[in-house]
Chain A
Amino acid sequence: MVVNASQPVLEMRGIDKRFPGVNALSKAALRLFPGEVHALMGQNGAGKSTLIKVLTGVETPDAGEIRLGNELVHPECVGHAQQLGISTVYQEINLCPNLSVAENIYIGRFPMRHGMVDWKRMQQDAVAALKALNVDVDVSLPLGHYPVAIQQMVAIARALSTDARILVLDEPTSSLDEDEVARLFDTLRGLKARGIAILFVTHFLDQTYAFSDRITVLRNGEFVGEYLAADLPRMALIEKMVGRAIEESAFARPAEDNNAEHAAQDTGAPLFSAQGLGKRGAVQPLDLEFRAGRVLGLGGLLGSGRTETARLLFGIDRADAGSVDCGGAKRQFRSPADAIRAGIGFCPEDRKTEGIVAELSIRENIVLALQARRGIFRYIPKRKQREIADRLIAQLGVRTPDAEKPIGQLSGGNQQKALLARWLATEPKMLILDEPTRGIDVAAKLEIMDMVKAQCRKGLAILFISSEMAEVLRVSDRIAVLRDRRKVGEIDGAGAQERDVFRLIAGAEQ
């Protein structure tokens, strides 16, 4: 097959895919040219993931055709797609934590010697493959021993190690810090130069523009258009994704929020305060204050101890120093149940594994925490459950035909809203939100942030954690800045700029 730059290496046309009750894709289309980076953009539920699943053989389309070069292909399973030269890195890391790093890169394509797996060569190859990504780890240890960022790099190394013509990256950067993203992009630029077509799904606009040549936008499962990145201004892109015109600068702080009238209210006793709370190996002892009606943001880079702090506050990990002051009484949470009793709710970072129960309905997911707090002997009548669920679904704008749908069928943003609803149903005094906007699109992010703020103003204290500094700046009344598992400062949220936070983070080095 002759590949030239004017002929697409991949062409998907008229792809339809129906799931029970939803038209996930209708007449979706996508073209990929060799040696280009192509961003696939769209809101949650726009059909990006489904389109990728169709391409990689996870789902079979109901209609439409996929052409590789000039051949019509029907990827039947992931292995088949790999043979066709389509390799994928998924958003949630799909590797085996029990296998060694080296095996995770090469399983399915082991180097063989005398009919046996050649462990020595595989490990040498793995070291080399990871070195190309600037990752230096012991490849013979199980993957589960390493943090998420390294696992993500291993997933990428695996995808790169096949002779792929097309590399699909589904949100590859959502768990990487800036250094790692930069390194990844360097590697991808090298691949691009070799003529590999890269399909890139991301919610980060900066990355889209820094890195992609061409952009395809999907909305409601339909093809909106294909654009050269250089010709499409950011606002135009967002409007195409959302389907309507929206205000300037997505993350700009609403103006009425910036006046300092709240400052006076912040002098009273806090609702909760962490005093010297810490755990060896997780977080250095730190002080934090949570006030009713206030959002405290936690700023810091990946690995700075944000999630660890949240886990201590909620009693998931037991602190070995300090305590939490709950309105006068000093407490040491031994388990999440203690924290819940004290009136704290927690939306975890990884909503797939720690948050939603995918098989249960939205209603059941929403009343879960409330029922747990009441105990199993005080069953909430179904009618009452429906009332609570319907009220919160309306209040938070969860997009679903009804509350009885399995939550797993909702898009990421709507799942996140349902999780918020779960904790709001328990009417907590304080809510910890760990990365509530991760992996969801810009419009839904804004919606969630505004909702957080609105709930907060009703008298809830909120701890807001996000790896995107702009989001933390947007919603927080105060921002506690972490560096290397240590609190390095606290700044007022109103009028704060990213550089103020980064100055604190950089502080010690200067």
Chain B
Amino acid sequence: MSRNRLFNPALLPLAVTSLLFVLTFGYGAVAYTGFLSSQVFLNLLIDNAFLVVVAIGMSLVILTGGIDLSVGSIIALVTMVSASLVEHHHWPVYVVVPLCLAIGAGFGALMGCLIHFFQLQPFIVTLGGMFLARGLCYVISIDSIEITDPAYMAIAHHKIMLWGENFISINVVIALAVVALGVFLAHYTRFGRTVYAIGGNERSAVLMGLPVGRTKILVYTFSGTCSALAGVVVTFYMLSGYGLHAQGMELDAIAAVVIGGTLLTGGVGYVAGSLVGVMILGVIQSLITFDGTLSSWWTRIAVGVLLCAFCLLQRGLEHGGKRQLAAA
């Protein structure tokens, strides 16, 4: 068996994703004037900060071999709760935000417990969570609530200046912090490696004496918290609460995670890949915006094609790995 290798095959999907991002961005730079600027790149982060945050939570869930469909609804619920408390009850932001995070964490923990203790399918449990959270939005209000609170406005409009005229928003800082946290958790903690072990073979993980139940509950709690944080980010971004916010965002998040190179069956992938996955979705959207003649639904078509292509690529890699083994 050869000890030398150029490349870990598990890294290939991530490398392909990154290359694809560079190529797509490069194409935009050539095709449209004004595309090649650092602010266009930074806008990708600003406009997709919430998606980055949910995608990181979703990555860990998918790495265990699970799925979390409730993320979009939790975002909507958090925007509603925030808007209502801030506008109608005049609660300060430093109380509202932690409360929202607690709601998300509680939601996630509850779903995690159902999945673990009753051995229920994550798909069904989180589908239930999705309907529940979306429904709760309309208990608060059926209309959109605009936020005029000065503290919220200040955070929303704050620009963190980088070089020259370039800037990012506070949301971007939050998103990048979550990425760093996700990478740290997944690759440098016992918790994270247990997540991978569960995704690889849950029965083995139990027999190896790993805390499988605790880890699964924690993973859904983490995803719930990420969704709530994404809800906070959306609130800053949209400055409103509405039950129709983030419709279908769970599917965008799943798409970003898969395009980022994580195997939907769990156990294989890199959390950082999900950031790149989100950026690809973002850059496709920007291209279509810059073009101006295409309907925004073309984004969906492009994403659909990409998703299928990535699943094929991953299957191809599995196959290639086996052939390599047979030849060794």
Most A Cβ at <10 Å: residue of B190, B197, B208, B268? B208
A116 — which chain B residues lie within 8 A by C-beta? 184, 188-189
A142 — which chain B residues lie within 8 A by C-beta? 10
In chain A, positions 126-148 with a C-beta closer than 8 Å to chain B are 137-138, 140-142, 144-147
B211 — which chain A residues lie within 8 A by C-beta? 79
In chain B, positions 301-328 with a C-beta closer than 8 Å to chain A are 321, 323-327
A147 — which chain B residues lie within 8 A by C-beta? 325
A82 — which chain B residues lie within 8 A by C-beta? 209
Contact A94 B208 (CB under 8 A): yes
The reply to whether the CB of B3 lies closer than 8 angstroms to some CB of chain A is: yes
- Dominant secondary structure of chain B at its interface with chain A: helix
Contact B3 A138 (CB under 8 A): yes
- A107's partner among B194, B203, B325 (CB-CB below 8 A) is B194
Number of A-B contacts (CB under 8 A): 90
The reply to whether the CB of A233 lies closer than 8 angstroms to some CB of chain B is: no
A99 — which chain B residues lie within 8 A by C-beta? 193, 196-197, 200, 267
The reply to whether the CB of A95 lies closer than 8 angstroms to some CB of chain B is: yes
Contact B207 A107 (CB under 8 A): no
The reply to whether the CB of A372 lies closer than 8 angstroms to some CB of chain B is: no
Least distance between A39 CB and chain B CB atoms (Å): 22
Closest A residue, CB atoms, query B4: A138
Least distance between A166 CB and chain B CB atoms (Å): 14
The reply to whether the CB of A232 lies closer than 8 angstroms to some CB of chain B is: no
Alpha-carbon distance A103/B188, docked complex (angstroms): 12
Contact A108 B204 (CB under 8 A): no
Alpha-carbon distance A60/B188, docked complex (angstroms): 34
Closest A residue, CB atoms, query B199: A98
Contact A98 B267 (CB under 8 A): yes
B327 — which chain A residues lie within 8 A by C-beta? 281
- B210's partner among A88, A107, A138 (CB-CB below 8 A) is A107
Alpha-carbon distance A94/B267, docked complex (angstroms): 15
The reply to whether the CB of A117 lies closer than 8 angstroms to some CB of chain B is: yes
Task: Bin the interface of chain A by size.
Answer: 35 or more
In chain A, positions 61-104 with a C-beta closer than 8 Å to chain B are 77-82, 88, 90, 94-99, 103
A77 — which chain B residues lie within 8 A by C-beta? 206, 209
Contact A98 B200 (CB under 8 A): yes
Q: Give the B interface residue count (CB, 8 A).
A: 34
The reply to whether the CB of B201 lies closer than 8 angstroms to some CB of chain A is: yes
Alpha-carbon distance A242/B199, docked complex (angstroms): 42
The reply to whether the CB of B1 lies closer than 8 angstroms to some CB of chain A is: yes
The reply to whether the CB of A58 lies closer than 8 angstroms to some CB of chain B is: yes
The reply to whether the CB of B37 lies closer than 8 angstroms to some CB of chain A is: no
Contact A110 B193 (CB under 8 A): yes
Alpha-carbon distance A281/B196, docked complex (angstroms): 31
B209 — which chain A residues lie within 8 A by C-beta? 77-82, 108
Least distance between B232 CB and chain A CB atoms (Å): 27
The reply to whether the CB of B8 lies closer than 8 angstroms to some CB of chain A is: yes
Most B Cβ at <10 Å: residue of A95, A96, A117, A141? A96
Closest B residue, CB atoms, query A79: B209
Alpha-carbon distance A115/B321, docked complex (angstroms): 34
Q: A117-B193, A282-B326 are in contact. Are A108 and B207 (CB under 8 A)?
A: no
The reply to whether the CB of B187 lies closer than 8 angstroms to some CB of chain A is: yes
Contact A96 B190 (CB under 8 A): no
B193 — which chain A residues lie within 8 A by C-beta? 99, 103, 107, 110, 117
Most B Cβ at <10 Å: residue of A88, A108, A281? A108
The reply to whether the CB of B205 lies closer than 8 angstroms to some CB of chain A is: yes
- A108's partner among B10, B190, B196, B201 (CB-CB below 8 A) is B190
Contact B201 A78 (CB under 8 A): no
Most A Cβ at <10 Å: residue of B194, B207, B210? B207
Contact B8 A140 (CB under 8 A): yes
- A95's partner among B5, B189, B204 (CB-CB below 8 A) is B204
Contact B208 A108 (CB under 8 A): yes
B199 — which chain A residues lie within 8 A by C-beta? 98
Cβ contacts B255-286/A at 8 Å (1 or 0 each): 00000000000011000000000000000000
Least distance between A132 CB and chain B CB atoms (Å): 19
Closest A residue, CB atoms, query B211: A79
A138 — which chain B residues lie within 8 A by C-beta? 1, 3, 5
Least distance between A284 CB and chain B CB atoms (Å): 14
B189 — which chain A residues lie within 8 A by C-beta? 115-117
B267 — which chain A residues lie within 8 A by C-beta? 96, 98-99
Least distance between A347 CB and chain B CB atoms (Å): 22
Least distance between A480 CB and chain B CB atoms (Å): 22
- B208's partner among A95, A110, A115, A137 (CB-CB below 8 A) is A95
Contact B204 A96 (CB under 8 A): yes
Least distance between B131 CB and chain A CB atoms (Å): 30
A158 — which chain B residues lie within 8 A by C-beta? 208
Least distance between B103 CB and chain A CB atoms (Å): 29
A281 — which chain B residues lie within 8 A by C-beta? 323, 326-327
Closest B residue, CB atoms, query A87: B209
Alpha-carbon distance A98/B202, docked complex (angstroms): 12
Q: A58-B207, A96-B205 are in contact. Are A107 and B197 (CB under 8 A)?
A: yes
In chain A, positions 231-278 with a C-beta closer than 8 Å to chain B are none
B196 — which chain A residues lie within 8 A by C-beta? 96, 98-99, 103
Alpha-carbon distance A314/B193, docked complex (angstroms): 39
Least distance between A62 CB and chain B CB atoms (Å): 21
Alpha-carbon distance A95/B184, docked complex (angstroms): 24
B207 — which chain A residues lie within 8 A by C-beta? 58, 78, 88, 90, 94
Alpha-carbon distance A58/B3, docked complex (angstroms): 37
Alpha-carbon distance A94/B204, docked complex (angstroms): 4
A140 — which chain B residues lie within 8 A by C-beta? 8
Contact B1 A107 (CB under 8 A): no
B321 — which chain A residues lie within 8 A by C-beta? 144-145
Alpha-carbon distance A146/B206, docked complex (angstroms): 22
Least distance between B88 CB and chain A CB atoms (Å): 43
Closest A residue, CB atoms, query B324: A145
Closest A residue, CB atoms, query B265: A98
Least distance between B241 CB and chain A CB atoms (Å): 38
A81 — which chain B residues lie within 8 A by C-beta? 209
Closest B residue, CB atoms, query A53: B207
Alpha-carbon distance A80/B210, docked complex (angstroms): 10
Alpha-carbon distance A140/B204, docked complex (angstroms): 19
In chain B, positions 67-99 with a C-beta closer than 8 Å to chain A are none
Alpha-carbon distance A281/B193, docked complex (angstroms): 34
A145 — which chain B residues lie within 8 A by C-beta? 321, 324-325
Least distance between A106 CB and chain B CB atoms (Å): 9
With A96-B205, A107-B190 known, 5 other A-B pairs at CB within 8 A are A78-B208, A80-B209, A95-B201, A96-B267, A117-B189
A-B contact pairs, 23 of them (CB 8 A): A78-B206, A78-B207, A79-B209, A79-B210, A79-B211, A94-B204, A95-B208, A96-B196, A96-B201, A98-B199, A98-B200, A103-B193, A103-B197, A107-B193, A107-B194, A108-B210, A117-B189, A117-B190, A117-B193, A138-B5, A145-B321, A158-B208, A281-B323
